[in-house]
Amino acid sequence: MSGVKAGDAFAVYGLLRKGASGFAEFGLARAFRPLGPCRIPGVIHDLGGYPGLIAGQGEVIGELFEVTDVSVIARLDAFEDYDPHKPEGSRYLRRRIRLLSPDAEAWVYVWNRPVSGFARVESGDWLEWAGRKV
């Protein structure tokens, strides 16, 4: 899989959204240029304080960004426990996905493990589910 390049679109739906802990922790305001809200196909589950996106019928609320500083990607991969050299052992995979809106492809972290026993976030909005305000 090719790597993320400057100018690529990147969609986030959980702890990396504005108003969530990871956004500030990783300095995404400097590394990403905001492009607005997005809707990601699939469903999310509460994995115990953080969400995991899986394929399925549904919409997940997210935020879309343009990558301006690719050096942040290695740190995000580590945070998401994604090893591009050993994807089978990774908790998340970084994949390019066609968004529901806007009509664009974006990099997204998708959950790489079973979700049985974890609550589905019916609204598709992690920040709402977690009681945070954007």
Question: pLDDT tens digit string along 38-61?
Answer: 999 999 999 999 999 999 899 999
Question: Which range (22-31, 90-99, 102-111, 112-121) has the least confidence?
Answer: 22-31
User: What is the β-pairing status of strands 105-111 and 51-67?
Assistant: unpaired
Fold for the domain defined by 9-129: Hypothetical upf0131 protein ytfp (3.10.490)
Rounded average pLDDT over 108-117: 97
Question: Is 90 exceeded by the pLDDT of residue 32?
Answer: yes
From 100, 114, 91, select the one nearest 38 (Cα to Cα): 100
The dihedral over CA atoms of 21, 46, 85, 39, expressed in degrees to the nearest 10, equals: -80
Percent of residues, the chain, with pLDDT higher than 70 = 96
The reported pTM is 0.93
